[in-house]
Amino acid sequence: MEQCESLLSKVVGMVREDQRTVLRRRIEEAVIEEAGGEGPCGPKAYRFLKDLDIFINMPGPDFIYSRGIAESLRVGEDIFELAYVIKRAMQ
């Protein structure tokens, strides 16, 4: 549980302060949806947060390229949409 909270706090801490509450709620909802019945900090939830962290730290061109090949990755398009929102909130 501590690993998930630490990673979630890291991601949320990267965005503008006025966006943090809304984005934290949105990320938590996405994590719960991704984890299914596993719980909010099971292996799937933690992997989702790790992937999200990777995507929001990618430079723009790399992010766009990886979004284009989403179907061949283990993640869905929804993580890219969330990562894009977070990247915009970081500016």
> CB 84: neighbour CB atoms within 10 A?
15
Query: How many whole angstroms separate alpha carbon 45 and alpha carbon 35?
Result: 5
The C-alpha atoms of residue 1 and residue 15 are separated, in whole angstroms, by 22
Asked if 34 contacts 48 with a C-beta cutoff of 8 angstroms, the reply is yes
In the chain, where the domains are located? 2-90
More confident of the two residues 11 and 72: 11
Helical packing angle, 60-68 and 77-90, nearest 10°: 160
Report the predicted TM-score, pTM, of the whole model to 2 decimal places. Answer: 0.81
Residues of the chain with pLDDT > 90, as a percent, come to 42
| More confident position, 17 or 61 | 17
Question: What are the pLDDT digits (tens) for 28-53?
Answer: 999 998 888 787 788 989 998 998 99
| Amino acid 55: pLDDT | 87
As a whole number of angstroms, the distance between CA 86 and CA 35 comes to 20
